[in-house]
Structure 1
Amino acid sequence: MKLATLILPLALLVCAPLHAVEQNRGEKLVELLDVKGVGIAAAKAALDPTLERLRAMGIPAEGIQEISDAAATFYAKSLGSPEMLAAMARAYEQRFTPEELDELIRFYGSPLGRKATQVMPEISREIVSRNQESTKANSAELQAKIREVIAKYRPQQGAPAKEEERSLLDRKRR
């Protein structure tokens, strides 16, 4: 009986660290991925076209900086909150096995993985910029298709576009 009472606590002691490692894999990956930093950089990249439009409207540099700072603070709070980081960790844990998480952790902990994490904001910025250019260049085709579908399904065939339809299409052009 004494042997059994010694083995159970010893087994729990040995297994407890293994369980703790499994619980923290997602958190470790989120930390290595610098999700908060990458997310803030991507949000800033998405904000850049708006800031350019504001500059073109005559908003001075200090106003642009205030808006940029406010956005950075906002995204840091939302992306860096403990709840958000825990949700991200759970999302990884739900989609990857413990072994896959271990591989991701090894990769993102390596020099190449750290470099990938560091350059991701630059890549995101470039992709967003090129996508905006492409969208502008090709939006007329989509707008024509939308008008075609609206005309096809409008109860009164051939009726002029209603104000809200014109407004919707105008927003797509911007």
Structure 2
Amino acid sequence: MKFILFLAIPLIFVPVSAQEPSTLAPIDELLKIMKFEQTVIDGGEAGFVMVEQSLSGQDLNKEEMDEVKDAFIAYMSKVASDPQLKIKTKALYEKSFTDDEIAALIAFYKTPTGQKSLEVMPTITGEIMVFSQQLAQKHVGSFQNALTKILERRAARGEQEDE
């Protein structure tokens, strides 16, 4: 589940068409500048560590793990190039940003800093997700305790209602 959430995060960032930026709608231009499809693929690749961890008990050798990684990258490529992803991404940008904000994002991603952020963000996000998963494991007990108490209260209330 956490891995699926990780995959969803880079999906926000996905290049779109071969048209010249001057003929593209602003959101299409933004997605092109952001190298949207490649960013999704890179984000998935950065998160592959989590796949490796989930398969650690399978005793796969290096060659087999390389096959898994190749299959995973092919999977991420299909996700990144699915037209529905572009449609949904554009809708989310239209809902979340004004035209002026889209223009500001375009201007930012055209700068060297904006381009660098596109290069390093998938790796940073992947590393943060791996670390946050480790922290989640460390703290999951407190959530489980709270959930148990809530469910026990609910069960007790249900028994009283049945009487």
TM-score, normalised by the number of residues in structure 2: 0.73
CA distance in 1, matches of 2:137, 2:95: 37
Conserved in 2, the CA contact under 8 Å of 1:42 and 1:121?
Answer: yes
Determine if contact 2:47/2:127 at 8 Å carries over to the other structure.
no
Partner-residue secondary structure (3-state), 2:25:
helix
Shift, 1:51, TM fit: 1.4
Match for residue 40 of structure 2? Answer: 39
| One-letter amino acid of the counterpart of residue 100, structure 1 | E
Q: Which moved more, 1:47-56 or 1:137-146?
A: 47-56
Rounded to whole Å, the distance in 2 between the matches of 1:78 and 1:51 is: 20
- Letter paired with 1:116: S
**Which sections of structure 2, spanning at least 5 residues, go unmatched?**
1-20
Moved >4 Å (runs of 4+)? 20-23
1: CA distance between counterparts of 2:94 and 2:72? 29
| Percent identity over paired residues | 22
Bigger radius of gyration: 1
Distance in 1, Cα, partners of 2:84 & 2:124: 27
Q: Which digits, 9 at most, give the CA deviation of each residue in 1:19-54, with x for residues without a partner?
A: x95861101111222222222233234442231342
Q: Report the counterpart of residue 75 of structure 2 in structure 1.
A: 74
Residues 44-87 of structure 1: CA deviation (Å, up to 9, x unaligned): 34442231342443111122122211121112112223342243
Cα pair 1:26 1:90 within 8 Å, conserved: no
Contiguous gaps of at least 5 residues in structure 1: 1-19, 158-174
Give the letter for the 2:61 counterpart: P
CA contact under 8 A between 1:29 and 1:89: conserved in structure 2? Answer: no
Tell me how large the CA RMSD over aligned residues is.
2.3
TM-score (norm 1): 0.69
